[in-house]
Structure 1
């Protein structure tokens, strides 16, 4: 029952978080740093009050061991959010991050010397091809968006803008690739850390958000700039309080609350379910978020995007052994007879 509640909150929190994030980035694409800072701050305050009891509870895992994980976590969060500012659409952003299994496998082979079955290698090939298809089609979308202005510019200037947009998009793809592998490295480090010290999800959640807060000083100007822009957005009345609040700050509040619900639910599931189930739940959540983003926000999505998306999520399910588990559940008798023979 606890696991079902956790899964429900993953879908509710994470899917609604994507909605608020897209409402923010469609208005100001460069607001990723402000969003990341707000999320880190709120989760840190909650953890300081309820997890550390105002600093009176000592951590089970030495703080020094969290520092390396925190550096990776901070880089991944900031780079992922900032990549949206480089002509990266939300659907491509979600699809790219769904390829985390590829990075995990590659780093697992290199660092942990892991070995995998043929099925897993084939599933990784499917995921890689799916991401490539979506990436190539998104590149063509960027090119078409640039071509819309050709009627208003001379040919040389138009070609220059098209090339500039494409280079900016390539930088965004590079940022997503970097974040993908850093996220996988963080996962491997967590795996080793938890094996040694045991699992302490709420503690890890607090320290992974609280320690890097000081690093936001380096991007403080950008945060203050976008905070000022948010304050200038259209005010909306709050019925009960009788005051008006800029609408983007309301979206930000919704984003932070849903992010907290999402990440708490994921950390909770790690203590209630196997990592296989957790990864599957998160993957299915990403798929639903992607579908909603395409339909509600009318993001450009072609037939080839659907093929690529299907390959990414289909490959993920094969990698997790979901197909095999379903077949074993449907035909258990046949499997037993084979073993007897």
Structure 2
């Protein structure tokens, strides 16, 4: 929804990368978790790395974004903030659920989290209808196993199908991971994924070598990830000894 309120993609990525800090804060406040200085520093370093990389790689704002009133932009920021804290709270609830009912119920968790979200789309049926009409109006392409067996489809649905397929693989992996490690570790991996996606977008898709700050930010992400992982291993070994 935030994109409908003139939120640039760069700001969206930066906000989402703040999920690690929020997750750590909620874990400390709600679940009374303790984090080492190395883990806290690593989380801040990864977040700073994503922010730096995003700001160095962002494109010029579109006219719609640049000309949007401040009140519209403020609503978008409020939506992103609510989403950020909601996501952190959901991570804590997921941890508690798996702790109580076992680690093998992630299929159920994945199913119900999507099923119970479906009715919310009724609130946006007009927008969905307009988007479907726009998708159906895209140039048609032939999809089939031969010239005789197949059908003509609007080209939009080819990209959509690939998006859905990769999302299916991704969300299955994320939920399987959520059942195995802490929500903060999941947040860390998702932030690293964003950084990798950003680098692929700049270097591979746009054929750009990237700026110095892009690679500095990427190196911070790498160092922070290694630092957090090492801090987690040290913490686990300490608990085992105790």
Q: Normalising by structure 1, report the TM-score.
A: 0.55
State whether residues 128 and 312 of structure 1, in contact with CA within 8 Å, keep that contact through their aligned partners in structure 2.
Answer: yes
Number of aligned positions between the proteins: 229
Contact 1:287 1:313 in 2 (8 A): no
Query: Who is 1:107 aligned against?
Result: 26
1:202 aligned onto 2:107: yes
Closer/same/farther in 2, CA of residues 85 and 322 from structure 1, 3 Å limit = farther
- Distance in 2, matches of 1:257 and 1:137, equals 30
The 5-angstrom pairing of residues 177-256 of structure 1 reads 177-199=81-103, 200-240=105-145, 241-256=149-164
Structure 1 residues 279 and 208: alpha-carbon distance in aligned structure 2, compared to 1, 3 A threshold: same
Q: Give 1:1-341 correspondences, 5 Å limit.
A: 79=1, 82-83=2-3, 86-89=6-9, 93-94=12-13, 96-134=15-53, 141-142=60-61, 162=66, 164=68, 172-199=76-103, 200-240=105-145, 241-270=149-178, 274-275=181-182, 282-298=190-206, 302-321=211-230
Superposition CA RMSD, Å:
3.7
**Superposed displacement of residue 103, structure 1:** 1.4
Bigger Cα displacement from structure 2, 127-136 vs 208-217: 127-136
The normalised TM-score by structure 2 is 0.74
Task: Map Cα deviations across residues 173-222 of structure 1 (whole Å, 9 max, x no partner).
Answer: 55444323221110001111222222301111111101121111001111
Q: Is the 8 A contact 1:283 1:313 kept in 2?
A: no
Structure label with greater radius of gyration: 1
Q: Which has the higher helix share?
A: 1
> Which runs of 5 or more structure 1 residues have no equivalent in the other structure?
1-78, 147-159, 329-341
